A = this chain, B = another copy of it.
Amino acid sequence: MLSLATIKDVAKRAGVSIGVVSRAFNNYPDISEKTRQKILKVAEELNYTPNLVAKNLSSKKQLTIGLITSGILDSSQKDSVNSIEVFKGVYTAIEEKEYELAIYLIDSNKQKRKSYAQFCRERNIGGTILQGIRTDDPYFKELINTNIPCVLIDFHLNNHTPLIGNVSINNIEASRKITELVLEQNHRRIAIMAGKKAAYVNNERLRGVREAFAAFGLQLHEEDILYGQFLEQAAYEETKKYLEKHRPTAIIAFSDIMAIGVMKAIKEAGLQIPEDVSVTGFDNIPITEFTQPPITTVQQNFFELGRQAALHLQEIMEGRAKGKQVVVDYKIIERDSVKPL
C-alpha cells in the first residue's frame, strides 16, 4: 500500500500544527524535546517521510546537484569505465550529504536539445559538475555566466570566478613522468598519439611531453604528433599512416584506448611490441592489464576525481570555500609495453 502520509496527517495525529512537524524534521532548536519525540514517533507509525519534491519547491535551500557529462553515450564500452567511476564517486559524495542528483547526458554526436542552464533551472539545481564538455561549447559559456556554482572535471577555465572550481590530476606532470620513463630507456624516435586538439587535458599532456623532451635536450616535432581523437579506430588509422613513412621506437598515447589502436597498427605492420616499438597509455582502464603485452600507463583514480568534484562543489554551494583547483593523485603503472633500447 502506497498510502503516502503527508505532513498534515502527522500533525493531526500528533496533535500539533504542520509548522511544528516541519521544524521537528529540520532539526530546529526551538522545539521542545518532548514534542519532537512525539512527532518522530507518530511519523514512524505513519511511515511518513517528507516529500522531497515539495521540500524542493518551498525551500530556499538548493538540494539538488547536477552532473552534466558528454561523451558517455557515444563512448566505447572499453573506456566508459572511466565515466562510471566518476559517476560512482559523485554519487557517493552526494548521497552522503543527502543532496539529490540530476543527470544530464550529452551525446556529442547529436545536437543537444536543451541548454545546460535551462536543465539546471528547470530542476532547481544549485550547483553542477561538468565532464567531457568543451570550453567553447556555447551552452557551457551560458551556464558559467549564470551564478550557478560549477566544478569542472578534467578541464579548466582561465578567468575563473569564485563559483567555478575544477578537479583533475596534474596532467602536465604525469605526462612528463611517463615521457621521461620512455626517454630514460634511450628512446629518441618517439611519436605522440595525442587526443583532440581542443581538449584541455590534451594540451596539458602535450606540455608535459615537451618539458620532458626539453630536459633531455630534445625537441618535439609537429609531424610526430598524431591526433587520434581519443578514439581507438582513429588512433589505429593515424598510426598506420604514420608507420608508412616513419619508424619510431616508441609511441606515447594520451589514452589507453588509443594505445590499443596504436598497438594494433604496429602489429599489423609486422612489428613487435615492445621489441621493435614501445608503447605507453594513459588512464589505466581494466583492459590494459590483458593486452599483449600489458600496457605501461598512468593510473587515474576516476572515482576520486568524481568524489572530490562533488565535495568541492558542496563547499562552494554552502559558502565554505571559493572555487579552486583540486588536484588528485595519479600513479605510473609499469607493465611490459616499454623496453630499453
Contacts and interface: CB of A to CB of B under 8 A. Distances in A.
Given A1-B145, A80-B85, A81-B81, 4 more contacts: A4-B121, A53-B123, A53-B124, A101-B103
B122 A103 contact: no
Contacts of A4: 121
A147 B4 CA distance: 12
13 contacts: A1-B145, A1-B146, A2-B121, A49-B122, A72-B84, A72-B88, A73-B92, A77-B81, A77-B85, A77-B285, A77-B286, A290-B290, A290-B292
Given A1-B145, A103-B101, A52 B123 contact: yes
Contacts of A49: 118, 121-122
A71 to B, nearest CB: 12
A91 interface: yes
A51 B124 contact: yes
Contacts of A124: 51, 53
A57 interface: yes
Interface string A280-320: 00000111001110000000000000000000000000000
A340 interface: no
Q: In terms of DSSP, what is the predominant structure of the interface of chain A?
A: mixed
Given A118-B49, A290-B287, A73 B88 contact: yes
Interface residues of A, number: 48
Nearest to A79: B286
A65 to B, nearest CB: 12
Interface in A31-83: 47, 49-54, 56-57, 72-73, 76-78, 80-81, 83
Given A81-B80, A92-B73, A148-B2, A54 B51 contact: no
Interface in A130-172: 145-148
B57 A2 contact: no
A271 interface: no
Interface in A91-126: 91-92, 95, 100-103, 105, 117-118, 121-124
